[in-house]
Amino acid sequence: MRFIVYGAGAVGGVIGGRLFQAGHDVTLIARGAHRTAIHDRGLVLESPDESVTLRIPVAGHPREVGFGTGDVVLLGMKTQDTAEAVRALAASAPPDVIVTCAQNGVENERLALRSFARVYGVCVVLPAAHLRPGVVQVYSAPVGGVLDVGRYPGGTDDAAHAIAAAFRDGGFGATPRPDVMDHKYGKLLANLGNAAEVVCGPGESSRRVAALARAEGLACLHAAGIAFTEADMSVYADVLDIRPVGGRSRFGGSSVQSLQRATGSVEADYLNGEIVLLGRKHGVPTPVNELLAHMANEMARDRRPPGLVAPEEFLAAVAARS
């Protein structure tokens, strides 16, 4: 079983690096300066306990990979890039290749299933970061994170068990779950705070806004009759040991990191936007998530730093639009 990590940023880079360290066959697919740095110098994987340089094979596009029997593709890009990535993958990989979606949100699996029959969801709880080309960080050790996996749209099989076993080899908690999408919907509720971090800043300043976004999300999931399993944070606290890396604590989640890297986009349309979509379909007002998605997209597009809007200012803008 070879793992082809398509999108080797924070999450994909850490998973690929840990699998490679555990002796698994891994190929990364990365873009631009990140690909060049990995090709020329190796992938630097930093954790609270060590910094290692891993000479992992890297490609710039799926057509450079040369797919074989038993390959597992792990998608790690943000959802706004998934449709294009799946099209590129479909032009290069056999239709029976296994595709796993180690991504936030609930849209990636649907996009992958349009082109591939064997699709698996991965519910990712992984405190990772990627701010410089060729370097990724994981802020928990010795267990790097939790990567539960299941077949999409439901069930488990031999492949799900084999993938979970490989994740465990790499130092992750991993359980095959037939209801993995229930867990991903539960994770979606937590990820609604990503845009709040972008708009109001990480930490205490964004928590009130994130709680309001989550309340809208709960109302929408209930109205839509969507089953979900919320993350038991006490379990993760028992498993993960989150500490600084190189004397630096992790600053914000994946969307804040997108602003720090000035990528020009965030995945708010597929996190907060998923709740807005459900609200419009089922008659549930979602003014907080709607404005969060709008502001986060605007700030990313204009390459502004995170945290420019005070919570009071944001809530006043929500009230003015209602």
pLDDT tens, 104-153? 999 999 999 999 999 999 999 999 999 999 999 999 999 999 999 999 99
pLDDT-above-90 percentage for the chain: 94
Burial state string for 301-311 with b = 16 or more CB within 10 A and e = fewer than 16: eeeeebbebeb
DSSP state of 62: G
In this structure, the number of other CB atoms found within 10 A of the CB of residue 59 comes to 19
Q: Which CATH superfamily is domain 184-321 in?
A: N-(1-d-carboxylethyl)-l-norvaline Dehydrogenase; domain 2 (1.10.1040.10)
pLDDT at position 233: 64
In CATH terms, the superfamily for domain 2-178 is NAD(P)-binding Rossmann-like Domain (3.40.50.720)
- Residues 46-75, mean pLDDT to the nearest whole number: 97
- Mean per-residue pLDDT for 236-261? 90
Instruction: Give, in order, the Cα–Cα distances in Å from 223 to each of 217, 228, 269, 274.
Output: 10, 12, 20, 14
Instruction: Look up residue 45 and give its two tokens.
Output: 């994987």
Do 184-321 and 2-178 have the same topology in CATH? no
Q: pTM for the full model?
A: 0.96
Spell out the domain ranges in the chain. 2-178, 184-321
Q: What is the pLDDT of residue 251?
A: 85
